[in-house]
Structure 1
Amino acid sequence: MLRFLRRALFFAIVSFLLAAGVYLTTASFHERWHGFVTGELAQHGVHLDFERLAINPFGGLVARGVRVYNDVSKRHLVASVDRLNLDVDFGSLVEGRVQIEGMELLHASVALPVDPDRPDLTVIELKDLSARALLEGRRLEIRHAEGLLSDGLHILISGVLELPAPSPDQQGMSADQRMNLMREHREQIQHGLDWLARFRAPHVPTLSVKVSGALERPDEIKAELLFQADGLAFEDYVWNELVAEAEYDGGFIDLKRLHLRDHLGIMDATATWRLGSDQLRFRLTSSADLPGLARAFLNNEGLREVVFYEAPQLALEGSVLLKKKSPDDMLPVNVTGSLDCGRFGSRGEVFNSLSLTLGATPQGIYVKDALLKHKTGSLVLNVMHHQEMGFKAELLLRMHPTVFLPFVLLPKTREIIQRFEFNDDSQVDVHVSTAGPKLNLRESPTSGHGVIRNFRYKGVPFESAEMDLAFLGDIQNYANVKIQRPDGPAEAELVFVNDDDNEKWLKLVNVRALADAAGIVRAFAPKVADQIERYRFSAGTDVTANGVIGYKGNPQLNDYKVAFKNPVGGAHYVLWDEDYPITAPNGEVHIVGNMLNFDFNGRLFGDTMHAKGAVNLTPGVRGYDVVVQAGRFPYSVFGKKLPFEEVRAEVRNRDGLARIDIAADVLGGDMTLKGTLNENREPNSYDGELRMNALSFHKFAQVYSPGNESVGDISGHFKFAGRMNDWKTLKGGGALIIVNGNLLALPVLGPLTPIIGAILPSPIKGYNVAKKADCTFEVSDGFIVTDNVEAESSAFRIVSRGNIDFIRDDIDFNAEVRMRGLGILLFPVTQLLAYKGSGTLKDTRWSPRIFGGGNNDERKPPTEQELREAQRIGGNPAKPRVNASPPKQKALFGN
């Protein structure tokens, strides 16, 4: 029986518990207690609703599908929680009252809409949230709250909050005001989370928050925040350590400490900001890789080119303006600071250090005492840009400007810098200042002074250059220029440059050099320098240049003169590939457009010399005029220097076809040479005519046969054609006449005269004086060929024919001699008066034909066809060839 009673009691208790459990999980229990719970929480200022309420078997109530609202109207959703445990007093619950003592979340998910009016849009999510809070009256104590905010931030929350008053009549912020404030805070939180999502980290960063204050007055809530992260990375930049400590007090944010550490150093910063304020105050010191940080966040490829070998030291203090007061503001900051950094490199250049102080306001910025050091020197810069005061800058450059070439983007600036070449001994000292209404160097006048030593400009070497500088836009002005070149000094009153794209020119005013004449001019006018360089002026030549030079495709602007003078020096003049030294050169070069005009005086071979002409410098055009006059001009003819005097040579070239006209006095007579030279084909071809008139036979013999001088004169002409540097192509013909000349002085026939004289009765006065000697001749294939050399004296008459191989200097002549008026029989053998000539022009050997003679290795003379072509060119009448043969017996007795 007792056992039965115990079982019955146990069954009743279990049945009651099961029934209670079923009841507590049914809709009936939810409907009965829903109002009690929401009402109780509303008394504490917490307005919520939930989908289902049940008793937790382990104690308390469990609310599922919880929605928290801003106020009693439940129009604005503040948060959504999937599950909320409520600690209740079960004694009160049995009595039909609900007394909530605390709340707990275990691995719950919380959704916080950014805009409570549109909860379907962006939502801030808290996952795996576990929290424990005690509720005592209007006091909510958060003992511990921990969760994951949007998968990117581990958050820890603790603190004490005062819940809103249940009565709307109590003082405090209105529901709409609270809503607007919450919306603003959540937007900022969402922006922060979006920004944080861009980072990578091996561990989730942690944010610890400790709060206190009244929820009814959210603008007065206080919070302490601590953010910690290790190995936080953004693109290629990594923070090894990041710690941020901040306080929030009623809308005032105080960043007490921001500590960053990267591979170079650390950065520490503090900042303060009141919500809604347009100004954030800060202080920062750093030895971290700020360019690396900046290039990561600013995505600037230029910053990626900077590499620091030592940590840069940066100190900044001031405020950041979050809203522009004026659309014309330059920068939204009020800041001062300094920067010091050691070695760094960029675009292949390594700099030793950089230091500066700086400041910035919305109206302007300044950089003061900026000092950049490089192995070649240093740069000091002060610059200011202000809305009202305009732009001002001062620069002291003591390093090679070519260092900045990799950083210059403007083509004009690059072109100017590239004109210079520096070496280890080069020195630069340039001080310039500029000012203007705006930050535009082209519109800001710039002036200063510069000294450069040991450099090259456009390839021209300079030991030093000192000048006053002035720039404005495309205009460059170099005044009071003093230059020292390796071969002497130079100076200029003014060099004025217009570098406009449409009209590039420079003006030279009194540019003067006591140096290599071409050297200083080459820096400004390379083509003119090429012309002057041909003269090879000696050092100390006084050169002056004045006028306007067009460049970069603007030769039509050319109108300038270059004058030169050296009373004791020398120069050289090249004529027909011969180099002639000139003393006391004096003249000028005048360039107008593409035409170079020159007028040159000096002394040549101890007498006066003058050259004048013009050269067309247009690319692809060959044209020039040259007139040369010389009082004396020795020139080698047949191995002897002939003293040409009063020489006048005129050459005119049009499109490569040169016309030559030369006249001179020589050996007491005169000569002319006229012809053409075609430079349009290779080798150059030529043709012309040489004429000699009444040359003194006496002077001729003094040169070619000293001791055999006599009276008489020589005349002749030679028409010819050929190709340069190829004597075998020379063809033509001419004639030669000698009157009253000494036969002993004649080339070729001279050595024959004594042989003839040996068989004459002695003495016969004047046997060697030719009353007349003449011949016609042809030139072809390297030979001079004649069939009718006739020389007649009072005692005999010589008839000769043969050829001269002037390439090999070899002769082959036959001669016949007839006696005149002697009336005697000399020899019974007629061959004794027929002779054979061989040897060279200088050493002609004659022998009777009975003994043979001639050269054994003779080159064959021209053919009949070649001689006819030479006759056509020379203008000689065609005549049959006469074979050399012994004279007839009757020819020995004269006529």
Structure 2
Amino acid sequence: MRRVLLTLFALFLIALSFGMWYASQRGFTSKWRGYVREEFHKRGVEVTLRRLTLDPLRGLVAKDVRVFDAHDKKRTLAVIDEMVLQVNFANLIRGKTFLDALDLHDANLSLPLDPQKPHGHKIEIARLNGRLFLPPQQLYLAYADAEVFGLHVSASGRLIHPQAFRLSSASRSAITPDLVSRIFEEISAIKYEAGPPVVSLTFSGDLAQPDQIFVDVALWAERIRRKRYLLNNLYIGASWRGGALDLKQFVATDAAGELRLNGLWERESNHAQLQLRSNIDVAALARACGNFPWLDDFVFYAPPAIDLRLDTTLGDKPEFLVSGRLAAKKFAYRSIVFDQAEAGFSWDGTQWSLRDAHVRRANEQEISGDALQVAGDFRARLDSTMDPRVFRPLLSDAQSETLRQLEFSHAPHITAEAYGASPSLDALKIDGRVELGAARFRGVPAESTKATLHYENRTLSIAPFTLKRSEGEGSGGLYFDFGREEIRFDKIRARVNPPEVAMWIDPDLVKQILPYRFVRQPPNLLIDGVVNTRNGKTTRLSILVDAPAGVDYTFLKKNLSFPKISGKLLFTDGRLKISDLSAALFGGTLSGGADISLNRARPNYSANVALANVDFTSVTKLYFDYDDSHGHLNGRYDFTGSGEDARNMEGRGELTVTEGNVFAIPFLGPFSGILNNIVPGLGRDVAHQANVDFTISSGVIATDNLNVQGKGFSMLGNGKLYFLDDKMDFDMRINAQGISGVLLFPMSKLFQYTADQKLSKPQWRMKIIPRL
């Protein structure tokens, strides 16, 4: 009997050993794997097992376990390479729930980001160690440690009713291929230089009532690098409780400063709040996290300080309000260096405001103001003491060049208020004022300027304005029409130096004004009209000139000095018209007008002048350097020409000399001696009157009716005077008057003289030599 028992025991041991070897090496049959699957199913979890083996040291081991969505078995939630099952064999024999716990040791867990594509992107969890107890209707995680994306994660907690878990359709649709790809790119770009960050996770709750679940997460990390940006320390503390996500603390530090963030999101109301304070190097962080080309325009010498609050309600039509304050110390924008900037702000997606904003530079230069945009209404206020030339890098080449030509002893003070439907210039109206001390524009100085500003419909008006210079001041209105590219002058009254003021308006005008030299006192000007700065087609600028102290002007290479002059200048497209000209000249008057081309390619002109009672002596002295003439000069001259060469001038006129000494005219001077030779004493009879009609062409004065009258004779002449070449070709016939004329009349044809030598030294000779 004893032998039989020993034999049976040996057979039992052999059978048991073989069974254990078979279970260890070949695994349990599909029937046993079915028991395990059913056990998980009772707990609301759908799994499949590729193998179920028995390890003598660890117990029952399930390999290649796949966890599915209980409501959609096509959706793989997790893949576990190996887990140890803690089995209650007594319950197994009685047919009761026999799975008490799961043990994981250096296991690998794979969580597909898209459950419908189990072979796609996954979250890989490595070196997973932990124990999960499986009481009825519960999941109790005693502990778990693993490495996830380079993080060291530890977790513990308890959940009931696990069978009630179901991934929402919104969560499913949110997992897109682009999002998955972006997540993995971001994760792979982060480097942990001081070892894996530590994450602690605790949880509890009822999966049948998700709002009652509690989750508490804490993260601590050091030296986190992304590209060139290094975060020295990072701590995050957050919890989910009662349907609310509470970001209790988010603290990050870098070499520049610290960022603190906290917030709350309530699931029921879908409302969230977020508060942020930071003085870390946000520019470097932004460049490390994304592509922001506009940041290349900024250089921060010290990180800006940010104080921000976000209130938002999520949903189909999200609503939010961002408010806070920004402050920056020294920074540069497109090479413009500022010492300080600060502003409060708010924005809800459509409406925004800017409060107590100011930007400062050295030397007390500052811009301050406020702005508000609400539905269909924009308003702003500006107060500036900053040099406008600072903003040259922000402007077009033409605008920058205009600002470059400005020089300030002190920056202008500008105040302005803007209002309109939107902040675009086309929709705005702006009212303001500017006060400017000593300044220069294009090298021309002004002592001070004050003006009222208005902008509307792309037109800037500077009206009224007052400008002071050393010689006088100007006032009136200026209008810059940027759409038509025109400058309109509205009744500007000034007593200033015209060429210098013309330099402010249009440098091309200076050359046309320079010949008129107001050397004693600037004229009184009334400027009215339009200048087209693009092509001049609509230019029509009227300048009324009243110069009681006179003007100097060069005519035929001689300086004419007018003690008093007035007239009207009209600038049009390529032409200058002078009208209503009235001037004092050598004791008499000059009147007339002119039409002058401003086109350099065709510098033609036409003019007419009239002289009345002009001192004949002054004229001959100026143009012929003779002092002996007397009398008064009257006449008229109409002429045309091209350029500055007098040879191109052509004209027609008439002159009359009365009560004068005609023989003082250089080319007629020798006739005093000739007359004495004809009749002794006749040469002492001064030729007191002369008149002539003449033409001028190619530097030649031509006439055929020079008539000189004396008391005892008359002279009739015709010919040409080459006044530019110092030549002459002229004939003169002498007729005696009174009894001498009667006696000599038969011989009058013999008293004809001609000269064809130098005009400056005429040599008259008889044209017909009588035969003896």
TM-score exceeds 0.5? yes
The 1-side partners of 2:762 and 2:10 are apart by 160
Residue 435 of structure 1 corresponds to 419
Residue 161 of structure 1 corresponds to 158
Judged with a 3 Å threshold, the aligned counterparts in structure 2 of structure 1 residues 445 and 561 are, in CA distance, closer, same or farther, namely same
The amino acid of 1:66's aligned partner reads: V
Which of 463, 480, 490 aligns to 2:474? It is 490
- The answer (yes or no) to whether the contact 1:36–1:98 under 8 Å persists in 2 is no
The amino acid of 1:283's aligned partner reads: Q
The amino acid of 1:634's aligned partner reads: T
Residue 561 of structure 1 corresponds to 542
- The answer (yes or no) to whether the contact 2:264–2:274 under 8 Å persists in 1 is yes
Residue 353 of structure 2 corresponds to 366
The 2-side partners of 1:642 and 1:648 are apart by 24
The 2-side partners of 1:251 and 1:272 are apart by 11
Is 1:415 matched up with 2:399?
yes
More deviation, 260-269/39-48: 39-48
Residue 341 of structure 1 corresponds to 328
The amino acid of 1:200's aligned partner reads: I
Residue 733 of structure 1 corresponds to 729
- The answer (yes or no) to whether the contact 1:428–1:452 under 8 Å persists in 2 is yes
Which of 430, 437, 440 aligns to 1:456? It is 440
Is 1:200 matched up with 2:190?
yes
The 2-side partners of 1:641 and 1:86 are apart by 137
The amino acid of 2:201's aligned partner reads: K
Residue 55 of structure 1 corresponds to 54
Q: Deviations 1:102-144 (Å, cap 9, x if unpaired)?
A: 323334332223344x244744322423221141524544344
Q: Deviations 1:819-838 (Å, cap 9, x if unpaired)?
A: xxxxxxxxxxxxxxxxxxxx
The amino acid of 1:541's aligned partner reads: P
The 2-side partners of 1:165 and 1:636 are apart by 119
Is 1:259 matched up with 2:251?
yes
Q: Aligned ranges for residues 293-692 of structure 1 at < 5 Å?
A: 293-294=285-286, 297=289, 299-323=291-315, 325=317, 332-375=319-362, 377-387=365-375, 390-408=377-395, 415=399, 418=402, 421-423=405-407, 425-457=409-441, 460-492=444-476, 494-500=477-483, 503-524=484-505, 526-538=507-519, 540-567=521-548, 569-599=549-579, 600-618=581-599, 620-630=601-611, 631-632=614-615, 633-635=619-621, 640-641=626-627, 643=629, 645-646=633-634, 648-653=636-641, 657-661=648-652, 663-664=654-655, 665=657, 666-667=662-663, 668=688, 669-670=690-691, 674-677=695-698, 686-689=699-702
The 1-side partners of 2:98 and 2:66 are apart by 20
- The answer (yes or no) to whether the contact 2:407–2:441 under 8 Å persists in 1 is no
- The answer (yes or no) to whether the contact 1:37–1:98 under 8 Å persists in 2 is no
Deviation for aligned residue 1:625: 1.1
Q: Secondary structure at the match of 2:79?
A: strand
The 2-side partners of 1:158 and 1:653 are apart by 102
- The answer (yes or no) to whether the contact 2:512–2:598 under 8 Å persists in 1 is no
The amino acid of 2:594's aligned partner reads: G
Deviation for aligned residue 1:80: 1.5
The amino acid of 1:719's aligned partner reads: K
Deviation for aligned residue 1:571: 1.3
Q: Secondary structure at the match of 1:302?
A: helix
Q: Aligned ranges for residues 745-894 of structure 1 at < 5 Å?
A: 776-779=754-757, 789=765
Q: Deviations 1:480-532 (Å, cap 9, x if unpaired)?
A: 2111123321111x3333322xx343432221112213333443355555433
The 2-side partners of 1:202 and 1:736 are apart by 116
Q: Secondary structure at the match of 1:197?
A: helix
Q: Deviations 1:872-892 (Å, cap 9, x if unpaired)?
A: xxxxxxxxxxxxxxxxxxxxx
Q: Secondary structure at the match of 1:271?
A: strand
Q: Secondary structure at the match of 2:649?
A: strand
Deviation for aligned residue 1:353: 0.8
Deviation for aligned residue 1:691: 7.1
The amino acid of 1:624's aligned partner reads: Y
The amino acid of 2:452's aligned partner reads: D
Deviation for aligned residue 1:271: 1.4
- The answer (yes or no) to whether the contact 2:392–2:403 under 8 Å persists in 1 is no
Deviation for aligned residue 1:663: 4.5
Judged with a 3 Å threshold, the aligned counterparts in structure 2 of structure 1 residues 236 and 774 are, in CA distance, closer, same or farther, namely farther
The amino acid of 2:481's aligned partner reads: N
Residue 111 of structure 2 corresponds to 112
Q: Secondary structure at the match of 1:403?
A: helix
Judged with a 3 Å threshold, the aligned counterparts in structure 2 of structure 1 residues 642 and 357 are, in CA distance, closer, same or farther, namely farther
- The answer (yes or no) to whether the contact 1:70–1:179 under 8 Å persists in 2 is no
The 2-side partners of 1:200 and 1:605 are apart by 94
Judged with a 3 Å threshold, the aligned counterparts in structure 2 of structure 1 residues 146 and 713 are, in CA distance, closer, same or farther, namely farther
Ranges in structure 1 where 5+ consecutive residues have no aligned partner: 1-7, 167-172, 327-331, 678-685, 699-710, 741-769, 793-798, 800-817, 819-893
Judged with a 3 Å threshold, the aligned counterparts in structure 2 of structure 1 residues 610 and 182 are, in CA distance, closer, same or farther, namely closer
Give the share of equivalent positions with the same residue, in percent.
19
Q: Secondary structure at the match of 1:357?
A: strand
Q: Secondary structure at the match of 1:193?
A: helix
Deviation for aligned residue 1:283: 0.9
Q: Secondary structure at the match of 1:406?
A: helix
- The answer (yes or no) to whether the contact 1:207–1:225 under 8 Å persists in 2 is no
- The answer (yes or no) to whether the contact 1:114–1:183 under 8 Å persists in 2 is no
The amino acid of 2:697's aligned partner reads: T
The 2-side partners of 1:187 and 1:228 are apart by 30
Residue 103 of structure 1 corresponds to 102
Judged with a 3 Å threshold, the aligned counterparts in structure 2 of structure 1 residues 98 and 437 are, in CA distance, closer, same or farther, namely closer
- The answer (yes or no) to whether the contact 1:488–1:540 under 8 Å persists in 2 is no
Q: Matched residue pairs, number?
A: 710
Deviation for aligned residue 1:662: 5.3
Deviation for aligned residue 1:550: 3.5
- The answer (yes or no) to whether the contact 1:209–1:223 under 8 Å persists in 2 is no
The 1-side partners of 2:623 and 2:180 are apart by 105
The amino acid of 2:620's aligned partner reads: P
Judged with a 3 Å threshold, the aligned counterparts in structure 2 of structure 1 residues 351 and 637 are, in CA distance, closer, same or farther, namely closer
Judged with a 3 Å threshold, the aligned counterparts in structure 2 of structure 1 residues 58 and 385 are, in CA distance, closer, same or farther, namely same
TM-score where L is the length of structure 2 = 0.80
Residue 34 of structure 1 corresponds to 33
Q: Aligned ranges for residues 694-733 of structure 1 at < 5 Å?
A: 717-719=718-720, 733=729
Judged with a 3 Å threshold, the aligned counterparts in structure 2 of structure 1 residues 641 and 143 are, in CA distance, closer, same or farther, namely farther
The 2-side partners of 1:576 and 1:721 are apart by 14
Judged with a 3 Å threshold, the aligned counterparts in structure 2 of structure 1 residues 131 and 550 are, in CA distance, closer, same or farther, namely same
The 2-side partners of 1:735 and 1:586 are apart by 41
Ranges in structure 2 where 5+ consecutive residues have no aligned partner: 1-6, 664-687, 737-747
Q: Deviations 1:658-715 (Å, cap 9, x if unpaired)?
A: 31335543443346653324xxxxxxxx4453679466899xxxxxxxxxxxx87776
State the structure with more CA Rg.
1
Q: Secondary structure at the match of 1:201?
A: strand
Judged with a 3 Å threshold, the aligned counterparts in structure 2 of structure 1 residues 610 and 317 are, in CA distance, closer, same or farther, namely same
- The answer (yes or no) to whether the contact 2:583–2:590 under 8 Å persists in 1 is yes
- The answer (yes or no) to whether the contact 1:198–1:234 under 8 Å persists in 2 is no
The amino acid of 1:646's aligned partner reads: N
The 1-side partners of 2:228 and 2:609 are apart by 76
